[in-house]
Amino acid sequence: MVWLPTRCIALLFCCFSSVERPSVSNRNQKAELVVNASGGRQIPETFFGIFFEEINHAGAGGLWAELVSNRGFEAVRQNKSLNIHPWSLIGDESSIIVSTDRSSCFKRNKIALRMEVLCDGDTCPVGRVGVYNPGFWGMDIKQGKIYKIVFYLRSLTSVNISVSLTSSDGLRTLANTNLIASAGDVSNWTKMETLLEAEETNPNARLQLKTSKKGVMWIDQVSAIPLDTYKSHGFRNDLSEMIANLKPRFLRFPGGNFVGGDLLRNAFRWKDTVGPWEERPGHFNDAWNYWTDDGLGYFEFLQLSEDLGALPIWVFNNGMSNLGREKASNVSLFVQEALEGIEFAIGDPSSKWGSVRAAMRHPKPFDLRYVAVGNEECYSMEKNAYKENYPKFYDMIKRYYPNIKVISNCDESVDQLDHPTDLYDFHIYTNASDLFSKAHHFDHTSRSGPKVFVSEYAVSGKDGGTGSLLAALGEAGFLVGLERNSDVVAMVCYAPLFVNVHDRSWNPDAIVFNSNQAYGTPSYWLQHFFTDTSGAMLLNTTLLTNSSTPILASAIAQWNSNDNMCFLKVKVFPSCS
Ligand SMILES: *[C@@H]1O[C@H](CO)[C@@H](O)[C@H](O)[C@H]1NC(C)=O
Ligand SMILES: *[C@@H]1O[C@H](CO)[C@@H](O)[C@H](O)[C@H]1NC(C)=O
Ligand SMILES: *[C@@H]1O[C@H](CO)[C@@H](O)[C@H](O)[C@H]1NC(C)=O
Ligand SMILES: *[C@@H]1O[C@H](CO)[C@@H](O)[C@H](O)[C@H]1NC(C)=O
Ligand SMILES: *[C@@H]1O[C@H](CO)[C@@H](O)[C@H](O)[C@H]1NC(C)=O
Ligand SMILES: *[C@@H]1O[C@H](CO)[C@@H](O)[C@H](O)[C@H]1NC(C)=O
Ligand SMILES: *[C@@H]1O[C@H](CO)[C@@H](O)[C@H](O)[C@H]1NC(C)=O
Ligand SMILES: *[C@@H]1O[C@H](CO)[C@@H](O)[C@H](O)[C@H]1NC(C)=O
């Protein structure tokens, strides 16, 4: 193909690592890059994407805009000593007694909060007694914004419950309403719903449910979520905008180690994460050590992909827990579960699982084209078990869904990939100079075999810290290498995407946030710099240099059909070590 860019605008990006240590030899070095703007090879349209894992409270207490933590009191199923954590009492034991029991109206999440109020009217201390939830290290409440509060209630008597958003000490009320119901109305479980408009801003607020009426009541599935979310689908706006700005062409989810769980009973099982949020049981994310209510479930990941204009890449559980620690005795159940998950995403609304999706107001199939058979099991001592089970998934998926592309996590070079697959995972976390040199890792990879999916990469350790320019430069060299090898490397995404400053279980990360603020690390902005690589023309470049410092360079060109212009982007990165 001959491709002649006309009226190109040249963008030149250079970085010089030697600024801090100028030397005679550096000053004497010279480099010249010759770019042949005729011809070239197209980089895949789906080259740059993102990988979301539920790690570092990336979703619960992060991208997912739900403000209440442990909203169904189910976390007690995991750890009894945590009781109703992070819920706390307002009042003392002489005026209020709370406990949990299994009286909920929901089948899969039976735990409910039982609240017995002993005081009445003026005899109640601090005006009224009850419970509050501080969210995930404080709720972000903004003046003028509206919050939808939902909870389920059952009571032996009539109720007058004050529902409010307050400062972290409970002293300043940001929004309040009184919910009043007769005993007859709430003698059985009843859904209570109200909208609260905040009169003040407070990034460290809490939700309170209080009363001064003597009696016994049960509370379950308490939700507080801003009405204004990304595309009205429940995602936090600022964080969603940051990932949208990376123009991801795909979204790999939901993990990572989150997929398998350290124990299988703690794995992400998609069926428990779809349907009405109130009915989802939630589960303990033992890989990263926190409870998730699973409001951000399989459906929401598919929805987010669609909202971002990214293809979903679903990593499903293959019946092995993290690194093969534990295995299901009957893998065919997991094969079935994977097939049903695909049916949920793309099946006809009249199919069994397609109808569940349709009931969630998405009758149109999602654009699911890729699935991955687990995460990293082939890296472990259990690689033989993975290799034994893998064909069972592959064969059945290809039989029922021949167009779905399947991703193995056996690496061609390391694990002797010996089974059919469309793509295979490549993961790398290393220091800056090593990642920079890995630009050449795929130079000699077979061009006739399956494609490579670089589904996790980052400079980590001392060089990475909690985000550094050095890390970004190591990654830059690697990415230039991937651009140049994009005839065999089909897709690439960085990991991890998010970290909540209150739960740094992995460093560094691309986006750092607390309840109301977020910033991108150098690794985030480096990715941002590569967003226009997807689908661009890779031009042939020749570097002529007498420099002893390794230098990596690439040139890409792309049409903008809107103004019939093209741009040429040249990237030059010297090694920083
Ligand atoms: C590199 O080339 C430049 C220009 O030709 C020259 O001035 C310089 O001395 C050379 N440096 C080395 C280290 O050979
Ligand atoms: C530039 O690339 C075109 C197409 O591959 C080729 O025909 C031409 O000879 C190249 N020009 C130079 C100067 O290498
Ligand atoms: C339960 O939580 C408590 C408090 O965080 C902790 O000390 C304990 O180790 C946990 N137990 C289990 C079994 O996880
Ligand atoms: C509900 O409680 C509030 C606060 O104690 C009180 O002002 C209000 O009058 C009560 N409403 C009813 C109908 O009892
Ligand atoms: C209470 O509600 C549940 C669920 O809606 C229903 O199955 C049950 O029959 C109701 N009980 C009474 C006593 O009305
Ligand atoms: C495994 O599960 C399949 C599908 O449910 C079932 O037909 C089969 O009998 C099970 N095998 C064993 C050994 O439990
Ligand atoms: C970087 O990592 C590579 C590969 O593990 C190692 O050989 C090298 O010594 C490391 N370099 C530094 C500066 O730590
Ligand atoms: C790029 O240019 C070099 C030097 O002219 C040539 O050897 C190589 O084949 C070219 N590569 C492509 C893909 O055109």
Q: Ligand 8 pocket: which of 1, 540, 544 to mutate (most atoms <8 Å of CB)?
A: 540
pLDDT score of 188 more than 50: yes
Name the closest ligand to CA 266.
3
Q: Do residues 424 and 453 make contact, with C-beta atoms less than 8 angstroms apart?
A: yes
**Does the pLDDT value for residue 251 go beyond 50?**
yes
Whether 217 contacts 183, CB under 8 Å: no
- Interval 469-487: pLDDT, tens: 999 999 999 999 999 999 9
pLDDT of residue 83: 82
Confidence of residue 415 (pLDDT cuts 50, 70, 90): low
Q: Which position has the token pair 């703007």? A: 37
Mean pLDDT (the chain) is 92
The pLDDT of residue 37 is 84
Is 407 in contact with 422 (CB distance < 8 Å)?
A: yes
**What share of residues in the chain are helix, strand, coil (percent, to 5)?**
25, 35, 40
Which tens digit of pLDDT belongs to each residue from 432-472? 999 999 999 999 999 999 999 999 999 999 999 999 999 99
pLDDT at 7 over 50: no
For 321, the token pair is 């827990």
pLDDT at residue 5 is higher than 70: no
Q: Kindly tell me if the per-residue pLDDT of 14 is higher than 50.
A: no
Residue 36, ligand 2, Cβ within 6 A: yes
- % of the chain surpassing 90 pLDDT: 85
* Atom 4, ligand 1: residue with shortest CA distance: 30
Mutate to test the pocket of ligand 5, among 103, 104, 105 (most ligand atoms within 8 A of CB): 105
Whether the predicted pLDDT of 57 surpasses 50: yes
30 lines ligand 1 (CB under 6 A): yes
Q: Give the binding-site residues of ligand 3, using a 6 Å CB cut-off.
A: 79, 81-82
Question: 50-65+229-535 adopts what CATH topology?
Answer: TIM Barrel (3.20.20)
Q: Which of 83-97, 194-208, 501-515 has the lowest mean pLDDT?
A: 83-97
Q: Which ligand minimizes its atom distance to the CA of 547?
A: 1
462 close to 562: Cβ distance less than 8 angstroms: no
Q: Which H/E stretch holds residue 476?
A: helix 469-484
For ligand 3, atom 7: residue with the closest CA:
81
What tokens does 14 get?
């250079």
- Taking the C-alpha atoms of residue 393 and residue 475, their distance in angstroms, rounded to an integer, is 34
- Atom 13 of ligand 2 has which residue's CA nearest to it? 36
Residue 10 has pLDDT above 50, yes or no: no
| Ligand 4 atom closest to residue 127's alpha carbon, by position in its atom list | 5
Q: What is the pLDDT of residue 77?
A: 84
Residue of 455, 569, 471 lying closest to 520 (CA atoms): 471
Ligand 2 centroid–CA 544 distance in Å is 17
Give Dmax over CA atoms of the chain in angstroms.
89
Cα of 354 from ligand 1 centre, angstroms: 66
Please report how the helices 331-346 and 352-359 are oriented relative to each other, as an axis angle in degrees rounded to 10: 50
E-state strands within 329-414 = 370-373, 405-408
pLDDT at position 144: 98
Q: Residue 365 and residue 349: Cα distance in Å, rounded?
A: 8
State what percent of residues in the chain have pLDDT above 70.
95
Place of tokens 């997807």: 534
Side chain identity at residue 151, one-letter code: F
Of 520, 259, 485, residue with least CA distance to 372 = 259
Going from N- to C-terminal start, the domains of the chain cover: 1-43+536-577, 50-65+229-535, 88-226
For residue 340, the model assigns a pLDDT of 98
Residues 6+ apart with CB under 8 A from 265: none
- Nearest 5°: CA angle at 309, between 308 and 312? 85
Q: Which ligand is nearest to the CA of 461?
A: 7
Gap between the Cα atoms of 143 and 500, Å rounded: 23
CB distance 458 to 475 below 8 Å = yes
What is the structure's pLDDT at 13?
41
Smallest CA-to-CA distance from 497 within 48, 61, 47, 55 is with 55
- Ligand 2 neighbour 466 (Cβ under 6 A): no
CB-side neighbour CA atoms (13 Å) of 545 = 21
For ligand 8, atom 13, the nearest C-alpha belongs to 540
CA 576 to centroid of ligand 1, rounded, Å:
21
Gap from CA of 46 to ligand 2 centroid (Å): 27
Of 386, 428, 430, the C-alpha closest to 408 is 386
181 versus 77: which is more confidently predicted? 181
Which residue has the least CA distance to atom 9 on ligand 5? 188
Neighbours of 429 (CB within 10 A): 15
**What pLDDT is recorded for position 548?**
85
pLDDT value of position 558: 87
Q: 393-414 pLDDT, tens per residue?
A: 999 999 999 999 999 999 877 7
At 122, list the tokens. Answer: 């003026």
Q: What are 285-312's pLDDT values in tens digits?
A: 999 999 999 999 999 999 999 999 999 9
Q: Is 245 helix (H, G, I), strand (E, B) or coil?
A: coil
State the fold for domain 88-226. Answer: Jelly Rolls (2.60.120)
Q: Quick one: pLDDT at residue 125?
A: 85
Distance, CA of 21 to CA of 124 (rounded, Å): 70
Which protein residue's CA is at the shortest distance from atom 5 of ligand 4?
Answer: 212
Q: How far is the CA of 541 from the centre of ligand 8 (A)?
A: 8
pLDDT in tens, 128-173: 999 999 999 999 999 999 999 999 999 999 999 999 999 999 999 9
Q: State the CB neighbour count (10 A cutoff) for residue 569.
A: 21
The answer to whether residues 475 and 15 touch, using CB atoms and an 8 Å cutoff, is no
HSE toward the beta carbon, residue 175, CA cutoff 13 A: 26
Query: Measuring CA to CA, how many Å separate 11 from each of 14, 286, 474?
Result: 10, 46, 21
Separation CA 84–CA 114 (nearest Å): 11
Q: Which atom of ligand 1 approaches the CA of 548 most closely?
A: 13
* Cβ atoms of residues 53 and 496 within 8 Å: yes
pLDDT grade for 27, boundaries at 50, 70 and 90? low
Predicted TM-score (pTM) of this structure: 0.93
Counting ligand 3 atoms within 8 A of each CB, the residue from 70, 77, 82, 266 with the most, and so the one to mutate, is 82
**Residue 380: pLDDT band by 50, 70, 90 thresholds?**
confident
